[in-house]
Amino acid sequence: MSSLLPKIPKLTKLPKLPSWAQVIQALRRHRKALLEAGVWLVIIAVVFFVPQTRLTANRLIYVLSNRKPPAWVSLPKGAKIDVDSTERYKRQELAEFNAKMTGVGRDVLTALGLKRPLVTVTLKPSLYGWPKVRQDLQAAGNTFVEFWGVSILTYQGQTYIMGIVGATSTPINMSDNVLRWQKDIEASAQKYHVEAALVAAVIETESGGDPDALSPVGAIGLMQLMPGTAASLGVNPYDPAQNIDGGTHYLEVQLQHFGSLEGALAAYNAGPGEVASGNWVKLPETLNYVQKVPMLQEKYERIWAQHAAADAQRAKAREQAMAKHN
């Protein structure tokens, strides 16, 4: 009769749990990352979620744009905060921060196995799982610092971007659809050794500087990245800064692969396969693209050169004024 009973499997040995010493050792190894993440979570919670301290986005932007500079920042006599420009800048930075935090949430779900990546691709270890969570959280934190600390000021007819520690830089034209992304364009251009003027020309051609641009085939953002391309590059295409980074990186890859600007632009527009096969010369859109972008590049090269010359003149004038004062 016992042979008719189901055979009860033997209990397998449970995995050994880590000791408290091992847990503490692991926490110590990652204490810097945990502390950094904890600080940002507390700041974000206090500003956006705790009822007693929460501010609406509009109210927060108003408060930050109308505050006086910190005590450690001394402004030149006659310099004034441009409240309207500061508000526009902070709205842009807050939109970038929200996009980056959305990406962080998606990264966490992916790392936990609760959400699939955008596409099935092989990514570098640093661009997937928890390393990507940390990378994107740090990027979101940097954007939040800029949102919180940066102000726009005017001095002697010029516009300056003032950081939280008082350092200033001169933007080219913050009201221009493309040049308002100057900071991100220059950062990506320097990172991938691509001319900033070329990146700006591609942005103007692809999206006209609209970070929310979406093509009928699904290309996203300023540099019109396809979801699969963005995923393979490890960027969030809905975040303008990451979109520019990914687009510049992809452009640099095509420049290296095809060895010419014409080939790289044709690959960016029609795809590397069309260039490899030579079929791109039969595509009117691509033929127009490889002619239009270099012309726009020349325009932006002139703009950047004029800006650099004006910056040099202002620096010389400041040095002469300081020499007279001393």
Q: From first to last of its 326 residues, what are the pLDDT tens digits of the chain?
A: 444 444 544 544 545 556 777 767 766 777 777 777 777 777 777 666 666 665 677 888 888 888 877 665 666 677 788 888 889 888 888 888 888 888 788 878 877 777 766 543 344 444 567 787 887 888 888 888 888 888 888 877 777 777 655 455 677 787 889 998 998 999 899 999 999 999 999 999 999 999 999 999 999 999 999 999 998 888 889 889 889 999 999 999 999 999 999 999 999 999 999 999 999 999 999 999 999 999 999 999 999 998 888 777 767 766 776 666 55
Q: At what angle do helices 284-325 and 261-270 cross, to 10 degrees?
A: 120
319 token code pair:
């040095």
Q: Are 43 and 132 found together in one domain?
A: yes
Q: How far is CA 110 from the centre of its chain?
A: 20
- Domain end residue (candidates: 169, 184, 208): 169
The DSSP code for 225 is B
**Which of 226, 271, 240 lies closest to 253, judged by CA?**
271
Report if residue 106 sits inside a domain: yes
Q: What is the pLDDT of residue 81?
A: 84
Report if residue 12 sits inside a domain: no
Which structural domain range is residue 188 located in? Answer: 173-326
- Domain end residue (candidates: 145, 169, 193): 169
Report if residue 26 sits inside a domain: no
In angstroms, the CA 118 to CA 125 distance is 16
Q: Are 104 and 190 found together in one domain?
A: no
Q: Are 61 and 84 found together in one domain?
A: yes
Q: How many CB atoms lie within 10 A of CB 126?
A: 11
Q: How many domains does the chain have?
A: 2
Report if residue 11 sits inside a domain: no
Report if residue 207 sits inside a domain: yes
Q: Are 319 and 281 found together in one domain?
A: yes
Q: What is the pLDDT of residue 8?
A: 45
Q: Are 99 and 181 found together in one domain?
A: no
Q: Are 141 and 100 found together in one domain?
A: yes
Q: Are 185 and 325 found together in one domain?
A: yes
With beta carbons less than 8 A apart as the criterion, state whether 158 and 171 touch: no
26 token code pair:
């692991």
Report if residue 18 sits inside a domain: no
Q: Are 92 and 118 found together in one domain?
A: yes
Strand order in the sheet with 151-155: 80-81, 151-155, 158-162, 168-169
pTM over 0.85: no
Is there a catalytic annotation at residue 319?
A: no
**Which of 223, 97, 109 lies closest to 117, judged by CA?**
109
Give burial (CB, 10 Å; 0-12/13-18/19+) of 162: buried
Q: What is the pLDDT of residue 52?
A: 61
Q: Are 181 and 287 found together in one domain?
A: yes
299 token code pair:
């325009």
Residue position matching structure tokens 């190894």: 29
- Domain end residue (candidates: 121, 143, 169): 169
Q: Are 161 and 199 found together in one domain?
A: no
Q: Are 234 and 113 found together in one domain?
A: no
Residues 211-225 as b or e (16 or more Cβ within 10 Å = b): bebeeeeebbbbbbb
* 205-208 CB contacts, 8 Å cutoff, 24+ apart: 205/289, 205/292, 205/293, 205/296, 206/247, 208/177, 208/178
Residues 93, 146, 206, 252: which is the catalytic one? 206
Report if residue 206 sits inside a domain: yes
The CATH code of the domain that includes 192 is: 1.10.530.10
Q: What is the pLDDT of residue 192?
A: 93
Q: Are 48 and 163 found together in one domain?
A: yes
Report if residue 3 sits inside a domain: no
